[in-house]
Chains A and B, each alone.
Chain A
């Protein structure tokens, strides 16, 4: 009898078994190798390698180039084998428009991080992590050229109302700046599609959502910290008044023989009051100075008090701009001020000027101002 050609029910598909064994061996080899011989495998599997449309710079040359050209540095913190980083690199950075925007508006620096390096992280990663403290495995951070030495708190902070997205100054005036609507009118901000924060002006872009939101971020980021910070509602007297002699007793202060600048010329024609002088030393960047600008210079209680009781002079320094700061440095030295912000209350009735170094919060500053007025009156 001729044997049947059909296979039995319990036929074993040896071809499938062999294929499964081979594929399992390759997958195991691949997975084990990926964990234990990563460098070799990265030749074939590094998703962050390959030709890029972006002209990446080395960190040190980027810093010097940024100081020279005044362009902001854009750090791209990318993590190997991280989905968001792969998408940022593959989807975002390979887009022609995005690459052109980055190349023209920023000095881009790539910081590749490998999660497995936590035992021996490379020096650049450690340095930037200590300075900027990035928390996401995939993050973009813009650092304006004048803020390269500053911390992440200073870079993220801003005292420009538009950059901060403050449309309703009622919150600032009442001392409750976090309880009022931001981002509603000046720019069309919206919640990010992944629910992490708002899209709008910001120093950071954590994770990756899509090209549109990345472009939104980049447009905002290239102007980050380019707008002047607010001076609040304090009625500042011109800077040149800070160099004039103080009045004595109730005798009105005259400008005397000190020549005044054109800006303060109207003052020379009128008599100044006998109020104590408040010299406010602030930086144009940095969270402490920003906090003083927003919490004290905009607080109705504080600015009314200052306008009534002081002759306020604003000495505004430009961070990392020695040429601009040079004329002001003498004032700093005069009062022994080493860090900004600082407040100095000066009066003929005070034996020595009162100085507040730094700005912890608006309450402590308010107390300092009140105590300054009180001491001046006691002396009187």
Chain B
């Protein structure tokens, strides 16, 4: 991992005023909402008085959009790679920089959200609900960051957002199609054994969900004696595969010093 690449990524973000404004709004929205809720309903902390870990995905999207694509578009990637750094190192550094920054924002947001409660009762900061919510955000940030880095390595500029929108659109279309098929399967269940088709459909659905929302429900782990291996393997596979594909794509691509 290259420290200079990480710092450059963060500095570049800071220079973009639109992103900084969006980041501020993303911070303030839940804080205002939950502060008002807490002031009007001064109860002990519970997981439902915290925003969902899904918020972390939005922070990651803000940090990761065009993280490699913009450098390809500007031609700066060729200059970066002129230094003694491998593409693999560059991609991993970008992923870490994005995941770390988004995690920091997301975790900070969750702590800020119940600052009113923490003011009255500081021990609440270490309540399991807050800790699990925070950890879930970190995991979600690094998982989503890997997929966004992969998308960004495929195109130049901010076209990775279009790719992401397209992927989401395909998922929505698939869901609508699958619902119809499931309904038909239920209606014809007494005539034909449709379980194979239904299982295949669910497999594709879980693939989409695993990529778009790599969520590992830690609260279940901590509260009970349960252990769900599936989401962990999916998350690790997503991160390693996305980084591998990004590296493979970039190592087989020619870069120009000139801007696109």
Main secondary structure of the interface of B (DSSP, over half): helix
Is A194's CB within 8 Å of the partner chain B? yes
A86 CB to closest chain B CB, in angstroms?
Answer: 5
Q: Are B49 and A193 in contact (CB-based, < 8 A)? A: yes
The residue in chain B whose Cβ has the minimal distance to the Cβ of A28 is: B237
Contact pick for B87, options A11, A28, A35, CB 8 Å: A11
A35 CB to closest chain B CB, in angstroms?
Answer: 4
- List of A residues within 8 angstroms of B241 by Cβ: 20, 23-24
Q: Are B228 and A8 in contact (CB-based, < 8 A)? A: no
A86-B217 in contact given A50-B225, A51-B225, A209-B48 (Cβ < 8 Å):
yes
Q: Are A13 and B247 in contact (CB-based, < 8 A)? A: yes
- Distance between Cα atoms of A374 and B111 in the complex (Å): 73
Contact pick for A212, options B46, B86, B233, B244, CB 8 Å: B46
- Distance between Cα atoms of A116 and B225 in the complex (Å): 24
B124 CB to closest chain A CB, in angstroms?
Answer: 14
Fill in one digit per residue for A1-40: 1 if any B CB lies within 8 Å of its CB, else 0: 0000011111111001101100110111011101110000
A23-B237 in contact given A47-B228, A94-B223 (Cβ < 8 Å):
yes
Q: Are B224 and A30 in contact (CB-based, < 8 A)? A: no
- List of A residues within 8 angstroms of B126 by Cβ: none
Q: Are A23 and B240 in contact (CB-based, < 8 A)? A: yes
- Distance between Cα atoms of A31 and B207 in the complex (Å): 9
A50 CB to closest chain B CB, in angstroms?
Answer: 5
Q: Are B84 and A6 in contact (CB-based, < 8 A)? A: yes
The residue in chain A whose Cβ has the minimal distance to the Cβ of B207 is: A31
- List of B residues within 8 angstroms of A24 by Cβ: 237, 240-241
Contact pick for B195, options A6, A31, A90, A119, CB 8 Å: A119
B84 CB to closest chain A CB, in angstroms?
Answer: 6
Is A87's CB within 8 Å of the partner chain B? yes
Q: How many residues of chain A get a CB closer than 8 Å to chain B's CBs?
A: 44
Is A223's CB within 8 Å of the partner chain B? no
- Distance between Cα atoms of A20 and B46 in the complex (Å): 37
Is B148's CB within 8 Å of the partner chain A? no
Q: Are B240 and A16 in contact (CB-based, < 8 A)? A: yes
Q: Are B243 and A20 in contact (CB-based, < 8 A)? A: yes
Q: Are A87 and B81 in contact (CB-based, < 8 A)? A: no
Q: Are A94 and B224 in contact (CB-based, < 8 A)? A: yes
Contact pick for B240, options A19, A36, A87, CB 8 Å: A19
Is A45's CB within 8 Å of the partner chain B? yes
Please list the 7 inter-chain residue pairs (A to B) with the smallest Cβ-Cβ separation, ordered nearest first: A90-B224, A20-B240, A27-B237, A193-B48, A35-B199, A23-B237, A91-B223
A sample of 12 inter-chain contacts (CB < 8 A) reads A9-B86, A11-B251, A12-B248, A17-B248, A20-B244, A35-B200, A44-B229, A50-B224, A51-B225, A86-B226, A87-B217, A118-B186
